[in-house]
Every structure is written in structure tokens, then in C-alpha cells.
């Protein structure tokens, strides 16, 4: 039976096993999918142990190892993983480990297909300039947006990211001028129960505000967006399910139906 894992730290609360087991049941694929904890700073050793002991067919990689995984697969990465400089999907074939990144496409599918928001032609404001922002930008840049602006607490990082992707960087204070259709929170501020410092006026024309973070209750960014008048505010649960579906496709070559799994998690 083929074995799959999600690698991270901490990892016990990951929803990925639940999602992938549901996909496997739907497709009638006989496989296992479990969590695998690696101590930070020991990614290469931990992965080698897993490969030796379990001979996995594939693995997802999550916080804090996406960059380590990209370094590990440096010469065997897909274009989208290279652009994101982060790997969330590993494919083990013979002696080679291939790296892919399905986060960006997961975001785009969730926004366009689940929420029916047309990204093409839209004016996008992206908050944050870390790995998550990079993953989203690597997909957004192929979506023919009317414009993409990046704002970050440390402006130099937004400038560097904007230069890398050929988009514009702005200061948080500048975003008060508004004119954004889609605002995406790619910062990790929710981990500290904070919202990024976006002025309320930035939301004036926003049709969709999206937080990559997901939680059983509204995140601080979602609250800020709603209180600033944005009618449509979503968390990142759908993106999690869609990136998993794309990883599943990388491993098994089949497209799963994601809506039932999404609804099950939402109602849990």
C-alpha cells in the first residue's frame, strides 16, 4: 500500500490527513496518509529517516519547512515552486525527490471557483511579504489582474518582493486611497491575534477580502474587513482543501470533487 505524509512542526492538529483520506475514499485508492513531526533544524535528517523507514510515495510539507524543502529539491522543482521559492508537495520517484508548490493554484481555485470572484481584470492588494505571499503571487501573476500591490510591515521586504514579481509595492498608510477589488491577507498576524495595519478606507471598494489563515471563528483581519464595510469576507479553509486536491492530482493523476470535503470541515 502506498504511504503519504504531511511533514511539519507542530503537526498533530493538521487537517491534511482528514482531507487526503476523504479524497482516497472518494477515488477508491488504497493508501495511508499520516502526520510526521520533524524537529526544526533537522529537516534533511528527518526526511531521510522517513524515506528509509517508510518509503513514502509522496508528502506534503508545511510550517516551518517549506523553504527547507525547496532547498532540498533545488534541482528537481516545478516552475511554480521555483517562483514561490517554497515546496509544499514532495513526490518520491525511484531515488529522486521532486518538489512542487500547490498553494498558489489552491488560492486561485478557491477564490474563482468556490467564491465566484473573477481575478482577471481585478485590482489586488496583497498584505505580507513572506513565504505565503510569495506562493500566492506566483499564481496571481498568471491571472491577468488589472493591478497587484504589495504592502508589508517591513517596507523593504515588500519592495524586494514587488521587484521580483514585477508588481508594485505600497506603504500600509498609502492603501487608504482605496481602489482595491480583492484584498488578501498573507501575513501571519492572526497567529498573534492581530490584524495587519490596513486603514479602514482601503476596503472602500473591496468586493472580496480573503485571509489565508483559517480558524473556527472570524480572524482579526476578517473582522476588520467586515467592520470596514466589505460584504464578502472569507478565511483560507477552501484554499487548504484546494491545495490538497492539487497535491492529490500530482500523486495520483486524478481530480477529486472538493466541495463535500470542504463542507464537512466547515461544519465540523
Catalytic center residues: 66
| 136 binds ligand ATR, rule: CB under 6 A | no
- Smallest gap from Cβ 98 to ligand ATR, in A, equals 21
Q: Which of 50, 81, 132, 233 binds ligand ATR (CB under 6 A)?
A: 132
| 240 binds ligand ATR, rule: CB under 6 A | no
Backbone φ and ψ of 142, nearest 5°? -100, 10
| 157 binds ligand ATR, rule: CB under 6 A | yes
- Smallest gap from Cβ 187 to ligand ATR, in A, equals 3
Q: Which of 48, 71, 96, 154 binds ligand ATR (CB under 6 A)?
A: 154
Measure Cα distances from 214 to 3, 67, 190, 217, 239 in Å: 27, 21, 9, 8, 9
For CA atoms 76, 79, 80, 82, the dihedral sign is: positive
| 220 binds ligand ATR, rule: CB under 6 A | no
Question: CB under 8 Å, gap of 24 or more: what pairs does 232-235 form?
Answer: 232/115, 232/117, 232/207, 232/208, 233/208, 233/209, 234/110, 234/115, 234/208, 234/209, 234/210, 235/210, 235/211
The grid cell for 119 is 481575478
| 258 binds ligand ATR, rule: CB under 6 A | no
Question: What is the size of the binding site for ligand ATR (CB under 6 A)?
Answer: 16
| 188 binds ligand ATR, rule: CB under 6 A | yes
Q: Which of 194, 215, 250, 265 binds ligand ATR (CB under 6 A)?
A: 194
CB distance 185 to 213 below 8 Å: yes
| 201 binds ligand ATR, rule: CB under 6 A | no
| 187 binds ligand ATR, rule: CB under 6 A | yes
| 32 binds ligand ATR, rule: CB under 6 A | no
Q: Which of 108, 129, 150, 202 binds ligand ATR (CB under 6 A)?
A: 129
Residue 114 DSSP label: I
DSSP states of 73-108: TTTSB-HHHHHHT---EEEEETTEEEEE--HHHHHH
| 179 binds ligand ATR, rule: CB under 6 A | no
Residue of this chain nearest to ligand ATR (CB atom)? 130
Closer residue to ligand ATR, CB minimum distance, 114 or 157: 157
Q: Which of 192, 193, 217, 267 binds ligand ATR (CB under 6 A)?
A: 192
**Helix, strand, or coil here: 110?**
helix
CB distance 107 to 101 below 8 Å: no
CB distance 123 to 180 below 8 Å: yes
Residues that bind ligand ATR (CB under 6 A): 128-133, 152-154, 157, 187-189, 192, 194, 196
Amino acid at each position: 500500500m502506498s504511504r503519504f505524509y504531511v511533514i511539519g512542526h507542530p503537526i498533530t492538529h493538521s487537517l491534511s490527513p482528514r482531507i487526503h483520506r476523504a479524497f482516497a475514499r472518494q477515488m477508491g485508492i488504497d493508501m495511508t496518509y499520516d502526520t510526521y513531526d520533524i524537529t526544526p533544524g533537522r529537516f534533511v535528517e528527518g526526511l531521510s529517516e522517513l524515506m528509509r523507514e517508510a518509503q513514502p510515495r509522496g508528502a506534503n510539507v508545511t510550517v516551518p519547512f517549506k523553504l527547507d524543502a525547496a532547498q532540498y529539491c533545488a534541482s528537481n522543482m516545478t516552475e511554480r515552486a521555483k517562483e514561490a521559492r517554497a515546496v509544499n508537495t514532495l513526490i518520491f520517484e525511484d531515488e529522486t525527490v521532486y518538489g512542487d508548490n500547490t498553494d498558489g493554484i489552491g488560492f486561485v481555485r478557491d477564490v474563482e471557483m468556490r467564491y465566484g470572484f473573477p481575478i482577471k481584470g481585478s485590482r489586488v492588494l496583497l498584505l505580507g511579504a513572506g513565504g505565503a505571499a510569495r506562493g500566492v503571487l506566483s499564481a496571481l501573476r498568471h491571472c491577468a489582474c488589472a493591478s497587484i500591490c504589495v504592502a508589508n510591515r517591513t517596507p523593504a521586504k515588500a519592495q524586494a518582493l514587488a521587484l521580483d514579481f514585477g508588481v508594485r509595492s505600497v506603504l500600509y498608510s498609502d492603501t487608504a486611497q482605496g481602489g482595491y477589488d480583492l484584498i488578501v491577507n498573507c501575513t501571519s498576524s492572526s497567529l498573534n491575534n492581530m490584524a495587519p495595519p490596513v486603514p479602514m478606507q482601503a476596503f472602500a471598494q473591496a468586493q472580496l477580502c480573503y485571509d489565508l489563515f483559517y480558524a473556527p471563528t472570524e480572524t482579526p483581519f476578517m473582522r476588520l474587513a467586515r467592520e470596514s464595510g466589505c460584504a464578502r469576507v472569507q478565511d483560507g479553509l477552501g484554499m487548504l482543501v484546494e491545495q490538497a486536491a492539487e497535491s492529490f492530482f500530482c500523486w495520483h493523476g486524478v481530480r477529486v470533487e472538493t466541495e463535500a470535503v470542504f463542507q464537512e470541515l466547515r461544519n465540523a
